[in-house]
Structure 1
Amino acid sequence: MGDRLWISGYRSWELSVHGDADPKLTVIKYLLKNELVTALEDGLEWVITGGELGVEQWSLEVALELRKDYPQLKTALMTPFTDFGSHWNETNLGKLEALQSQVTFTRATSDAPYQQPAQLSGYNRFMAQHTDGALFLYDTDYPGKAEYLYNVAIAESKRRDYPVKALSMDDLEDAARELSDNS
């Protein structure tokens, strides 16, 4: 997957994950952790993602936890515009701000507040061009918001050596079984 891994995927509501105590979140983070540990053992240096509620924030939480065992791991939270998350409720905005304060690097790819959809497509291009591979918790049989990002990553993989791994619903079911067997 390379030194710099772009991670994205479903939003929390697309997976019906309601709150930090939702048992589905335990399975999702278990699967993400296993993927990241494998990537770390293969030389991963950076986890780079956005701040969307769901896979993006969860992957940062997992990466931050992994820094205890892999202190060389760096994390970046990139947003498409400067006022990203400003319309969220206080709880969700607080989670975003807490993550921004813990990551190695955070910045918006546009130096302006949201103005136009071009900022989003610019963000997508930036993420693909400034990473060495992508990991998505995204199943093409279950379309969602991450489809646009996933398609950008796939397009990048056709231009250069850019591995894209998509974790499917079957992968989540396997992780749930594995977790259940180990407990």
Structure 2
Amino acid sequence: MKVLAITGYKPHELGIFNYKEPAIKYIKKAIKKSVIPFVEEGLEWVVISGQVGVELWAAEVVLDLQEEYPFLQLAILTPFLHQEKKWKDHHREYYEMILAQADLVESITKKEYENPVQFRLKNEFITSKTDGLLLVYDQEREGTPKYQLEVAKKKQEQGKYSIFTITFDDLQVIVEEDMQE
């Protein structure tokens, strides 16, 4: 696998309302634990759409991993131009800090928000340009990641596309391991 998309819940879908929330540390640890084996097997790019939450936390993980794996690159493919336009200031500042460090930043539709179709186009485009999807998602707790998952499942049925999940049970294991250290 050379190119991996990562997505997952937005902070509010997880009940996270500030960046000091301990759960973020565990989510990032789980992402790192999942991504390192791919990197060691030749992963070159991680692709996100820049959504607040799991995607930006994954971006932080990738940026940290670049110290040890300088060939690993981060692409942020936004669904439309200026997606952060209506976000709260703290989200926008965090997003812009991540964008400044990414290896590639592009907008898929090359225009500002017009309608929800742009999100579907984003899911389809990212899935078409990647070899697999890693998502922080639990089937028992639906949320926005389900749309990317649906597109990924269609591609998986057509041939070679891998889907990997980090569930709430996986996160619980990370918490328990951390408590034993």
Q: Give the counterpart letter for 1:53 in structure 2.
A: V
**Structure 1 unaligned spans of 5+:** none
1:19 Cα offset (Å): 2.1
Give the superposed CA RMSD: 0.9
Aligned residue number for residue 3 of structure 1 = 2
1:101 Cα offset (Å): 0.7
Counterpart secondary structure, 1:60: helix
TM-score, normalising length: structure 1 = 0.96
Aligned residue number for residue 63 of structure 1 = 62
Aligned residue number for residue 40 of structure 2 = 41
Q: Give the counterpart letter for 1:114 in structure 2.
A: Y
> What is the distance in 1 between the residues matched to 2:117 and 2:20?
36
Question: Percent of aligned positions with the same letter in both sequences?
Answer: 30
Q: Give the counterpart letter for 1:123 in structure 2.
A: K
Aligned residue number for residue 145 of structure 2 = 146
Q: Give the counterpart letter for 2:31 in structure 1.
A: L
- Per-residue displacement from partner, 1:112-156 (whole Å, max 9, x unpaired)? 111122211111110000001000000111101111111111111
Aligned residue number for residue 114 of structure 1 = 113
> What is the distance in 2 between the residues matched to 1:20 and 1:121?
28
Q: Give the counterpart letter for 2:25 in structure 1.
A: T
Counterpart secondary structure, 2:142: coil
The 5 Å alignment of 1:1-183 reads 2-182=1-181
Aligned length: 181
Which deviates the most, 145-154 or 53-62?
Answer: 145-154
